[in-house]
Amino acid sequence: MNKIDQLFSERQGRKLLSLYFCAGAPTLESTTNIIKTLNRGGIDMIEVGIPFSDPMADGPVIQQAATTALRNGMTLAHLFAQLKTIKNDVSIPLVLMGYLNPIMQYGIEAFCQSCVDSGVSGMIIPDLPFQDYMNTLKPVAESYGLKVIMLITPETSDERIRLIDAHTSGFIYMVSAAATTGARKSFSLEHLDYFNHVNNMQLRNPRMIGFGISNRTTLQSAQTNAAGAIIGSRFVSLLEETKDAQKALDLLREALQQD
């Protein structure tokens, strides 16, 4: 069974926490240690960012991490090589998150094969057109047992949400706001109305809420209104500050206890 399916089938109502970081930052060889630290630290799922020179959906923190990673020499081939070395040490799902250009350059078939070879369970490609997903990526990913996770935002139509729900599996990534990534102190009533609206659609796929989660208030709002929360910018900034995965995780847990 795909590890993403296993995670959601076995959670039994427990609220999940997924963390994002950019491969190759703060150092080129820090990726595997970060993953192993999060794996033993009780995190439920890890999104590993593929650095790209034009990360249009990301805020300044993740943009800077991507710039650092590229300067450090991180490539998709190097990332897969790193992940292979810890494949048998990681029990939780790994999801690669990156833009379409590097994946197309690598080759879709080769990318999916490398995902399987390195223990990756799925992928998130923010700029992947849905029609291209249906025609090109979906058949290949499914043949390799991989999940392609789609994003929805407050601006996504109900029709589009139901289309995504019908043609994907694993989970749906609910972007909290139609903006770039970055921390916020709380979610507005408009955000909460959006969460409630999607919940009332009774979709078959579980949802994870991301973008803007950095404290107890936003974490509780996300976990109340979905299967769990995804945290990126806050953890990435702590990694940059501390240069130590365990210290960054400890500080994040402290921050998530505070308003």
- The pLDDT averaged over each successive group of 10 residues in the chain (259 residues) is 96 95 98 98 98 82 95 98 98 97 97 98 97 97 98 96 98 81 68 95 97 92 95 96 98 93
Q: What is the DSSP letter of 216?
A: H
Q: What tokens were used for 165?
A: 């729900």
pLDDT attached to residue 182 = 46
pLDDT attached to residue 226 = 97
Structure confidence by residue, pLDDT tens digits, 113-135 = 999 999 999 999 999 999 999 99
pTM of the shown model: 0.94
77 CB-contact burial (10 Å; exposed 0-12 / middle 13-18 / buried 19+): exposed
Q: Catalytic site residues?
A: 47, 58
pLDDT attached to residue 57 = 67
pLDDT attached to residue 131 = 96
pLDDT attached to residue 187 = 83
